[in-house]
């Protein structure tokens, strides 16, 4: 039984900073298309049902969360009652990777020994400089570069 309390239901939550591409990834998966216009997400729940051989129906709930967290208690509730997490950052935004680290720590702290599958997803790797990707100045191995 999942943490949602319903048998044959899995809740996958997408978390990350605002504007990193959580909704774009979900829409690409669900509809195989990309929406070029940015619309700030409040929270959206997408539900899919699959027929599985011998087990009946399987329900997948994909929760698309806001990148801003004005209600920490709501985020905590979401983390406690979800089965798996996709933590999304933008490859051109180092701050978004720090947010993923913070979210991972929060999930591990709240879930304790229950644990949870966590996948970290880097988005926006396909953008070019002219499309808005910011090329970061890499200070790796003691030298500058791009």
Give the model's pLDDT for residue 144.
Answer: 38
CB 67 within 8 A of CB 17: yes
Pairing mode of beta strands 43-52, 118-123: unpaired
Tell me the C-alpha distance between 49 and 19, whole Å.
28
Angle 72-80/94-111 helices, nearest 10 degrees? Answer: 60
Q: Is the pLDDT of residue 84 over 90?
A: yes
Tens digit of pLDDT for each residue in 129-140?
Answer: 555 545 444 433
Give the model's pLDDT for residue 137.
Answer: 42
| Domain count for the chain | 1
Give the model's pLDDT for residue 63.
Answer: 87
Residue 22 lies in a domain: yes
Residue 2 lies in a domain: no
Domain of residue 86 covers 9-142
Quickly state the pLDDT bin for 13 (edges 50, 70, 90).
very high
Q: Across residues 93-120, what is the average pLDDT?
A: 90
Residue 3 lies in a domain: no
Q: State the first-to-last Cα distance of the chain, in angstroms, to the nearest integer.
A: 48
CATH at 42: 3.40.50.300
Residue 1 lies in a domain: no
Tens digit of pLDDT for each residue in 41-69?
Answer: 667 788 888 888 777 888 989 888 776 66
Give pTM, 2 decimals.
0.75
Residue 4 lies in a domain: no
Residue 49 lies in a domain: yes
Structure tokens at 126: 């396909």
């Amino acid at each position: 039984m999942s943490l949602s309390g319903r048998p044959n239901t899995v809740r996958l939550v997408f978390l990350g900073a605002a504007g990193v591409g959580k909704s774009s990834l979900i829409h690409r998966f669900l509809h195989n298309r990309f929406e070029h216009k940015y619309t700030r997400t409040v929270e959206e729940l997408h539900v899919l049902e699959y027929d599985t051989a011998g087990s009946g129906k399987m329900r997948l709930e994909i929760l698309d969360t806001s990148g801003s967290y004005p209600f920490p208690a709501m985020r905590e509730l979401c983390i406690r009652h979800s089965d798996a997490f996709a933590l999304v950052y933008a490859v051109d935004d180092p701050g978004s990777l720090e947010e993923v680290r913070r979210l991972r720590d929060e999930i591990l702290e709240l879930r304790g020994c229950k644990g949870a599958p966590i996948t970290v997803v880097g988005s926006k790797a396909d953008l070019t400089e002219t499309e808005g990707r910011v090329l970061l100045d890499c200070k790796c191995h003691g030298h500058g570069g791009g």
